[in-house]
Amino acid sequence: MSSDEQTISEATIDRVVENIMGGKKNVILDATILSTLMSCARLADFRFNHNFMSVNGKSNSLECGSIVHTFLEYMYKAQIAGLKREQAIQLGFAAAETYIRGCKHCTDFVPTEILREDGLKSTLSKPVCGHKPNEFPGVKNTPKDPDPQNPREKYKTGWQWVLDTCDQYTIHYRNDHWVPLEIEVVKGQILYEDDEVRVLWKSKLDMVSDTNQGIYPVDHKSMKQNRDTVSLNNQFMGQCSIQRTNRMFLNKVGFQKTLKPEEKFVRPAVNYTTARLMEWQSETLPFYAKLLLMYAETGHYPPNYTHCEGKYGNCAFLKVCEENPDNRESTIKQMFIVGPPWNPTNDEDED
Ligand SMILES: [Zn+2]
């Protein structure tokens, strides 16, 4: 790693903006924060300054995506550690099942002071299970098998089908020629600097793989419906910039019951010219970093009414914004809880 590269554990906008020597501002951005800023500043304020989380948990599609992510993370990590294929697959399933069931030790874990036998106090800073805090929260909106008679369940994906899909994935890729090199790493790097601002970009890489065409970032995408991939994507451009490549791959995992394995397990490449990546780094990043600084300085995060309805349904905060300004705080208290500070390792990208 060169001196301008570092791995950092977490950030929120409060910590994102800090003064460095000479009055220059440090801004830490990741794809989720930048894309939210591009969508709606008020939403960015709710999510990353106030850390509001829905009391109802993640959506069904996010939960199903997290189960697949957990499966692939543990399977590929075991493979890198040198375990046999069958053992690695078993570890993947064990982790996916723990994600579904939930682990009470690491869910909502907060460091606590404990009284030791010798009478001294010490701080329990990590969950006893050895997991990362909130790594295995359990599913709230994903039944085992959705009831087709229940209008609230019939469009959901069930977790049994998600596990079956993981099984089909391992069969489809039983002779996989991709060699995983790194799994679930967060990397940070200064991607822009001028007299006013320095932008530290943080990128979560699901996998870095040696394909037979070279070493590239890979992003796992689970989906119910296949859509064309749009390359105007902060996450993908950030991953290419961090890895200094002009190409990344999507590892698509489809939940469609009617498709054949070769149709629902596909790995399309997303390609960029150097000119496009440079435009993103040297024009798009500083523009939004400076916009964020202005929002933070004025404390005013304006709403964007064109983002209230989305292709996955309405914004979680729609009812809040539809209230009178005086009533918004009480509406928020009914619908949201204050969650942990934003961290780019969270799987919250809906796309
Ligand atoms: Zn745990």
pLDDT tens digit string along 73-103? 999 999 999 999 999 999 999 999 999 999 9
8 Å CB contact between 260 and 168: no
Ligand 1 center–CA 129 separation, angstroms: 5
317-335 exposure pattern, b = at least 16 Cβ within 10 A, e = fewer: beebbeeeeeebeebbeeb
8 Å CB contact between 236 and 204: no
Over 90: is that where the pLDDT of 317 sits? yes
Ligand 1 center–CA 334 separation, angstroms: 28
Give residue 170's pLDDT.
98
CA 338 vs CA 52, 99, 138: distances in Å:
5, 22, 19
Ligand 1 center–CA 133 separation, angstroms: 7
Ligand 1 center–CA 110 separation, angstroms: 12
Give residue 30's pLDDT.
95
Ligand 1 center–CA 261 separation, angstroms: 33
Ligand 1 center–CA 342 separation, angstroms: 20
Q: Which residues surround ligand 1, an ion (CB under 5 A)?
A: 103, 105-106, 129, 131
Over 90: is that where the pLDDT of 327 sits? yes
Ligand 1 center–CA 184 separation, angstroms: 18
Q: Is the pTM of this model over 0.85?
A: yes
Over 50: is that where the pLDDT of 8 sits? no
Place 344 in a pLDDT band, splitting at 50, 70 and 90.
low
pLDDT (average), residues 60-79: 96
8 Å CB contact between 297 and 287: no
Over 50: is that where the pLDDT of 203 sits? yes
Ligand 1 center–CA 106 separation, angstroms: 4
SS3 of residue 8 by DSSP: coil
Give residue 16's pLDDT.
56
Ligand 1 center–CA 88 separation, angstroms: 19
pLDDT (average), residues 19-30: 78
Distance, in Å, from the CA atom of 179 to the CA atom of 24, rounded to the nearest integer, reads: 42
The identity of residue 1, as a single letter, is M
For residue 89, give both structure tokens: 């697959």
Give the residue from 247, 224, 195 showing the smallest Cα distance to 311: 224
**What is the C-alpha end-to-end distance of the chain, expressed in Å?**
30
Distance, in Å, from the CA atom of 166 to the CA atom of 168, rounded to the nearest integer, reads: 5
pLDDT in tens, 105-159: 988 888 777 777 777 777 777 888 889 888 999 999 999 999 999 988 888 999 9
Ligand 1 center–CA 259 separation, angstroms: 35
Ligand 1 center–CA 270 separation, angstroms: 35
Ligand 1 center–CA 137 separation, angstroms: 8
Give residue 4's pLDDT.
37
298 Cβ partners below 8 Å, 6+ apart? none
CA 74 vs CA 36, 158, 322: distances in Å:
29, 21, 42
Top pLDDT among 347 and 115 is at 115
Ligand 1 center–CA 126 separation, angstroms: 10
Distance, in Å, from the CA atom of 68 to the CA atom of 164, rounded to the nearest integer, reads: 11
Ligand 1 center–CA 205 separation, angstroms: 22
Q: Which helix (H) or strand (E) holds 168?
A: helix 159-172
Ligand 1 center–CA 65 separation, angstroms: 19
CB-count exposure of residue 229 (10 Å: 0-12, 13-18, 19+): middle
Ligand 1 center–CA 128 separation, angstroms: 7
pLDDT (average), residues 166-194: 96
Ligand 1 center–CA 105 separation, angstroms: 5
CB-count exposure of residue 161 (10 Å: 0-12, 13-18, 19+): middle
Ligand 1 center–CA 167 separation, angstroms: 24
Ligand 1 center–CA 171 separation, angstroms: 29
Place 6 in a pLDDT band, splitting at 50, 70 and 90.
very low
Ligand 1 center–CA 59 separation, angstroms: 21
Question: Please, what is the angle between helix 159-172 and helix 85-101, to 10°?
Answer: 160
Give the residue from 124, 64, 130 showing the smallest Cα distance to 99: 64
Give the residue from 91, 61, 63 showing the smallest Cα distance to 76: 91
Ligand 1 center–CA 108 separation, angstroms: 10
